[in-house]
Amino acid sequence: MKIGILTLSLHTNYGGILQAYALKTVLEKMGHDVWLIDTKLNQVSFPRKIWRLTKETIAYLKGDVPMINAKKLRDRAYLNYTKPFIDQNIPKITKTFTSIEDLKKVTEKYNFEAYVVGSDQIWNAKYYKHIEAAFFSFLKGKEVIKIAYAPSFGADVWKYNEEQTRNCKELIKEFDAVSVREDVGIDFCKSHLDAQATMVLDPTMLLRTEHYLKLLPDSSTRKNNGLFLYVLDVSKEKKELIDAVAEKKNLVPYQLDIIDGYESCPLEWRTNAKVEDWIRSFHDAEFVITDSFHGTVFSIIFNKPFYVLLNYNRGAVRFKSILNIFNLSDRIITSKEELTKEKLEKKIDWEAVNKTLTVNQKHSMSFLKENLIDQ
């Protein structure tokens, strides 16, 4: 079956790239012909452009970020460090659709028999402005298979306005099956969209550790064995927590190679590391500290002891949901005072975690197999 996956645009976010790679890989292993549907619908609104320009101007006047370089920073990271992985490992990507009207032509251009929306925060209206398109508004009335695999709303309260809610409630009626990544998503679907949903794993967790190791050159040798830091949004409080953990565990912190002097820009824009380097950092680590959802996921995949610094700006509910699945809620730390001797010495029962992973993998794979059958 020829399948089109609709997810967030691939750029410099390691987790976003790897979840797309994992889902297409799993579907290909099932025998399907899988493509990613490339959309650039999220045009920045005029007020947001003014806000961004003001922020960049203030940073420039303070001597923080050279404005022109800051604008080029993200594209540099993409072209040098993430695009090569995408080109090599996700070669089947459609032309870029820049409008809803253009997107309506996707069926006649590519003849997809089934469409999958997910994973990642594509049902978060903050990240996907044309939220109705994430519910296949461009396919309304089309007789094709439509399913949702592990999309995330990325919030613990309902964020859609009345019009969006009404439209998406109507569109989801045409779905053949709906799954979500977080337990709160089940409640949102039921309460606001009048739809039944099941919870499944993030696609990255459907691939075995060995699969990721095959992506790494010379994966048999560990380059680092200290405290790997993958912290997207640095703060004074987080730095203090990291220093305290490093001292108490007697570990040397290390992180991805990044460009200094651009602290007002997101970490993903400042990276000097390839996707493979990011994966390898988890493989090599003795311990991980992260405020990233996929940083948490890959710590679990590689069975690395870790602490999570809740990232409220990017959606804390996502962390709580994944940690609850594996009975790992105690890996969250919010202050130095929590670093008691008991907490520092408590080990993760990886045997129990891996058993839970296997059970949830079977459930998630069954969802895909049962709902992507030729009709």
Residues composing the chain:
375
* CA-closest candidate to residue 193, choices 165, 158, 161, 160: 165
CATH numeric code, 209-358: 3.40.50.2000
* CA-closest candidate to residue 339, choices 240, 225, 251: 240
Beta bridge partner(s), residue 290? 230, 308
334 pLDDT band, cuts 50/70/90, is: confident
> Does the structural domain 2-206+361-371 have CATH classification 3.40.50.2000?
yes
Of all residues in the chain, the percent with pLDDT exceeding 70 is: 87
**115-136: average pLDDT:** 95
Which tens digits make up the pLDDT trace of 255-282? Answer: 887 766 666 666 766 778 899 999 999 9
In three-state secondary structure terms, 134 is helix
Q: Do domains 2-206+361-371 and 209-358 have the same CATH topology?
A: yes
What is the pTM assigned to this prediction?
0.91
Residue 99 sits at φ, ψ, to 5 deg, of: -145, 160
* CA-closest candidate to residue 296, choices 226, 204, 199, 200: 204
Which tens digits make up the pLDDT trace of 226-262? Answer: 999 999 888 888 899 999 999 999 999 998 877 666 6
In sequence order, the 6+-apart residues with CB closer than 8 A to the CB of 64 are 261, 262, 263, 264
Do you find a cis peptide bond into 119, omega within 30 degrees of 0? yes
Is-contact 301 281, C-beta < 8 A? no
User: CA-CA distances (angstroms) from residue 122 to 112, 125, 132?
Assistant: 20, 8, 11
Q: Return the domain boundaries, the chain.
A: 2-206+361-371, 209-358
Q: What is the pLDDT of residue 43?
A: 54
Q: What is the pLDDT of residue 272?
A: 80
Tokens of 33: 């012909």
Q: What is the pLDDT of residue 285?
A: 95
In sequence order, the 6+-apart residues with CB closer than 8 A to the CB of 284 are 222, 223, 224, 225, 228
Is-contact 199 119, C-beta < 8 A? no
> Which carries the bigger pLDDT value, residue 75 or residue 43?
75
**288-311: average pLDDT:** 95
Q: What is the pLDDT of residue 62?
A: 59
Q: What is the CA radius of gyration of the chain?
A: 21
In three-state secondary structure terms, 229 is strand
Percent of the chain as helix, strand, coil, to the nearest 5: 50, 15, 35
* CA-closest candidate to residue 152, choices 177, 111, 185, 104: 185
Beta bridge partner(s), residue 151? 120
Residue type, 83: K
